Amino acid sequence: MIDSRTARFVAVARGGSLSRRQVLDTGLRLGLATPAIAALMANAPEATASAPQRRPFARQDGGTGGTFTVLISVGTEDIDPHYSYATLSSTIALCVYDMLVVYQDDSTTEIAPMLAESWDVSDDESTYTFKLRPNARFHDGTVCDAQAVKDAYTRWLELGGAVVQVIARFVESPDQMEVVDATTLRFNLDRPQPLFLPAMASQYGPSVVSPTAIRENATDEDPYAHEFFLANAVGTGPYRLISNSINEGLVLERFEEYWRGWDDNPGFDQVVFRVVPEDATRRQLLEQGEADASAFNLTLDGVEALRQNPDVVVVEYPTTSVSWAILNAARLPREARQGLSFAFPYEEVEQSVFRGLLKRTGPLADSVVGYDPEVYLYQTDLDRAKELVLQAGFAEGDVFEYMVDSTDERESTIAQLFQANIQQMGFDLEIVAVDYATVESTIFGEQPAEEKPHLIGGWGWWPDYNDPWNHLAPNFTEANIGNGGSNAGAWSNARFEEIMAEAEVFTDERRLIELMAEAQDILTEQDPPVIYYGQIVRYTVLASDIQGFVPNPLYLDGFNIWDMSRAPA
């Protein structure tokens, strides 16, 4: 007897919708015998061709349904929504999983129902009661009831992945989740938690995973089935995962039993995330109509050219993301960090490098609660910069090391512009060009800050949900120095620590805004830990016949996929 998942896979493979590698990977994961896998590879149209296969990813023009093809630069080894912080993982999660609640359209403040059709909050905001939809089912056919949500979130809490902090800030134990009845789940948080609802709408963590899939794939060594969910997904979302290859991409198919229904929604039959490493190839596929979307992974020259192409639309949207270069406080006294902030080529970066896809801000984006519109912004002043660097104890001719991702053309250009300014001041900036993995390991690594470069370019952050503490704490608090946190410059400020401690448990938003105004002043004019480029404007390139896309500043590179479709020819 063949199960439904295997039957769907066999049908898709025979129809030529999977590459040879995808047939092999998926067949092995489903436990098919080697002769059966070989037969599928041999019988699938074009499956034995030696060149990379394009048929699985071709657009289906006109009418409704069809395939929506998204071009991605690389695959990911981990799509477990309770473990991974990768942007691609969260993009996949928004397609295959649901959450209790979701941010409404492009809002960063308004919360909309998802699996929870309604909710009640106690007057002191310490208890949240969710009323669940009675008709939601997982892709494995099991019912998504209150117990299932509790079981899923118990896994999230106990698995201990990086994204656990999204819920652990509010819920310390599964015992705080109370199953009132089959469609009612209550969170007893023990103290006022005004941010709990926004956190439950985060793109990182709150995905409701099938408890049945957890149990069926758990082992003694892996009780939460993390190994299974690295490459597989079983949720209640509008699309189910049928193929996943890190080298070629992921294929999703419409979940016909999705609780929202498809009767009045043309949607797509398939959603394909296709790995195309070469920037020029991604652009060419979009121009030729062989792909439908690409999110923030083209050169700006390519984006400029696509803006002139009537067959595609470049959708630009503000984000909650702020980019910066890290200043190593262990090697750079405060005056030096202030001086280097004055030396940065802000106007050239904004106008020539980002070409309008950047807005000057301090540490917070303008849509994040607590953003200060009067925040101090450095302006390029090389005389003042030199004065401060000399006051810090450096001498003319001294060399500052600037680490940058060698594959990022934009960041390499920024480094060269900055280098020219530093040289004009009588110092030198040594550009240390490395691969991105080295940049990341240097930032998150446990080596002492004294052994890290003076500056690390091309970093930045956006919050998991609309909260300034969630944005600032991972980057600038003492707790995130040298233990896997991203305070790579070992920056520390006693007053900032006090502000963060109060902001973490705030109950009055007016007080939070006061605290954040002071925090932003410390992080900029008084004692800068980084050089702020500004708030990033993100873009998604879409085929001109794709309709319904609404970007959200907190769901970067994501798609509101159930609302989207292809316009009839």
Q: For 291-343, how does the pLDDT look when each residue is reduced to its tens digit (9 = 90+)?
A: 999 999 999 899 999 999 999 999 999 999 999 999 999 999 999 999 999 99
pLDDT tens, residue by residue, 90-102: 999 999 999 999 9
Q: At residue 37, what is the residue type?
A: I
Q: Is residue 15 pLDDT above 70, yes or no?
A: no
Res 402: pLDDT = 98
Residue 19 and residue 52 in contact, taking contact as beta carbons nearer than 8 Å: yes
20/105 same-domain check = no
The dihedral built from the CA positions of residue 226, 435, 459 and 480, taken in this order, carries a sign that is positive
Residue 142 has pLDDT above 70, yes or no: yes
If pLDDT is split at 50, 70 and 90, which confidence band does 199 have?
A: very high
CATH number of residue 362's parent domain: 3.10.105.10
Helix axes 494-504, 509-521, angle to 10 degrees: 160
User: How far from the centroid of its chain's Cα atoms is residue 5's Cα?
Assistant: 29
Where are any strands of DSSP class E within 255-301? 270-275, 293-295
Average pLDDT over residues 193-205: 96
Do residues 47 and 110 share a domain? no
pLDDT at position 180: 98
In this structure, the answer to whether residues 459 and 533 fall within a common structural domain is yes
> For 59-63, which contacts have Cβ atoms below 8 Å and span 24 or more sequence positions?
59/289, 59/290, 59/291, 59/292, 59/543, 60/269, 61/289, 61/545, 61/566, 61/569, 62/566, 62/568, 62/569, 63/566, 63/568, 63/569
| pLDDT given at position 376 | 98
Please write the tens of the pLDDT for every residue from 383-394: 999 999 999 999
Query: Other CB atoms closer than 10 Å to residue 359's CB: what's the count?
Result: 17
- What is the predicted pLDDT for the residue at 11? 45
Residue 29 in any domain: the answer is yes
- Identify whether residues 27 and 107 lie together within a single domain: no
Confidence label for 35 from pLDDT (cuts 50, 70 and 90):
low
Q: What pLDDT score does 533 carry?
A: 97
The domain total for the chain is 3
Per-residue pLDDT at 185 = 98
Looking at the structure, tell me whether residues 163 and 24 fall in a common domain. no
pLDDT score of 13: 52
Examine the pLDDT at 22 and tell me if it is beyond 60.
no
Residue 388 C-alpha from the chain's centroid: 37
pLDDT number for residue 482: 82
Mean pLDDT across the stretch 455-471?
A: 96
Of 154, 177, 212, the position where a domain reaches its end is: 212
**Domain coverage including residue 107:** 98-212
* Domain-located, residue 291: no
Q: Which residues on neighbouring strands pair with residue 460, listed in sequence order?
A: 323
Whether 154 and 28 share a structural domain: no
Q: In this predicted structure, what is the pLDDT of residue 4?
A: 38
Q: What is the separation, in whole angstroms, between the first and last Cα of the chain?
A: 42
- 450 lies in some domain: yes
What is the share, in percent, of the chain residues with pLDDT greater than 90?
A: 83
Region 224-234 average pLDDT: 97
Does 362 share its domain with 449?
yes
Output the average pLDDT for the chain: 90
33 and 138 in a single domain? The answer is no
Higher pLDDT, 170 or 56: 170
Q: Tokens 């004692």 map to which residue?
A: 527
Q: Residue 512: which of 490, 526, 520, 162 has the closest Cα? A: 520
Q: Pick the more confident residue, 214 or 12.
A: 214
Is 226 within a domain?
no
Confidence band of 455 (pLDDT split at 50, 70, 90): very high
What is the percentage of the chain residues whose pLDDT exceeds 70?
89
Cα 164 from chain centroid?
15
pLDDT confidence of residue 10: 53
- pLDDT > 70? residue 20: no
Average pLDDT over residues 551-567: 96
> Residue 112 falls within a domain, yes or no?
yes
CB 107 within 8 A of CB 552: yes
What's the pLDDT score for residue 446? Answer: 85
Distance of CA 566 to the CA centre of its chain: 25
Strands 399-405 and 546-547: unpaired
pLDDT higher than 60, residue 30: no
pLDDT confidence of residue 568: 87
Whether residue 512 is found in the same domain as residue 400: yes
Q: Residue 65's pLDDT band (boundaries 50, 70, 90)?
A: confident
| The two three-digit tokens of residue 223, written as one number | 């009780």
Q: For residue 230, give the 3-state DSSP assignment.
A: coil
Kindly state whether residue 333 falls inside one of the protein's structural domains: yes
> Do 40 and 113 sit in the same domain of this protein?
no
Average pLDDT over residues 169-183: 97
pLDDT of residue 308: 95
pLDDT digits (tens, 9 = 90+) for 80-89: 999 998 899 9
192 in a structural domain: yes
Query: Is residue 476's pLDDT more than 80?
Result: yes
**Cβ atoms of residues 209 and 234 within 8 Å:** yes
For 419-438, write each residue's pLDDT tens digit: 999 999 999 999 999 998 89
18 lies in a domain? yes
b/e sequence 288-308, b meaning 16+ C-beta within 10 Å? eebbbbbbbbbebebbeebee
Q: How many Cα atoms are found within 13 Å in the side-chain-facing hemisphere of 482?
A: 12
In a shared domain, residues 38 and 112: no
Q: How far apart are CA 21 and CA 9, in angstroms?
A: 14
For residues 158-163, average pLDDT: 92
Q: In sequence order, what are the beta bridge partners of 118?
A: 131
Q: What single string gives the DSSP state of each residue in 308-343?
A: T-TTEEEEEEEEEEEEEEEE-TTTS-HHHHHHHHHH
Count Cβ atoms within 10 A of the Cβ of residue 123 and give its class: 0-12 exposed, 13-18 middle, 19 or more buried. Answer: exposed
Residues contacting residue 288 through CB under 8 Å, at least 6 positions apart: none
Low-confidence winner among 51-60, 252-261, 395-404 (lowest mean pLDDT): 51-60
Residue 356: what pLDDT?
Answer: 87
pLDDT score, position 415: 97
Assess whether 151 and 18 both reside in one domain.
no
